[in-house]
Amino acid sequence: MYHHSAIAPHPAAGSAAGVLDPAPADARDAILFQRCTWCGTAMYHRLLCPVCQGSDLRTERSEGVGTVRHSTIVHRNTPAARNVSLIEMAEGFVVRGRVMGPPIGIHSGDRVRLSTAKDPVRGEPVFQLVDEPYRAWT
């Protein structure tokens, strides 16, 4: 008479070791911001939380979508005309950057998506319009 004890394979050891952030290909093209661990306020390039003055901040990575809050044109009427916009990101912090496209085509309330985290020339983030990628500007 055989008495087989059930063969219960042990779950592979080490499955909980976890893989540390596989770092997506676009990781470098993302805006990093700080979030206060005390009150949860999101901020950009700050050392202290503007709300509670806490200094315990952790760095998070933005999804890269936001809304234009303010847009101005610099060097209007010159070939170097460009817009400088304040973008309120979905996470709640505000970033200054540039929105691609004709400078006069950017308006408050336009939804934008991060295109390049650091413009190679000015080192500022560059965004592109989400809703109206192209209006007939020809």
Angle among Cα 106, 112, 117 to the nearest 5 degrees reads: 110
Nearer to Zn ion, 51 or 104 (CB): 51
* Chain residues that interact with Zn ion, rule: CB under 5 A: 36, 38-39, 41, 49, 51-52, 54
* Residue 27: closest CA among 124, 117, 121: 117
* Residue 96: closest CA among 53, 44, 21, 38: 44
End-to-end Cα, the chain, rounded Å: 89
Contact 47, 56 (CB under 8 A): no
Q: How far is the CB of 45 from Zn ion (least distance, A)?
A: 15
Nearer to Zn ion, 53 or 72 (CB): 53
Q: How far is the CB of 59 from Zn ion (least distance, A)?
A: 15
Q: How far is the CB of 70 from Zn ion (least distance, A)?
A: 24
Contact 89, 65 (CB under 8 A): yes
Q: How far is the CB of 49 from Zn ion (least distance, A)?
A: 3
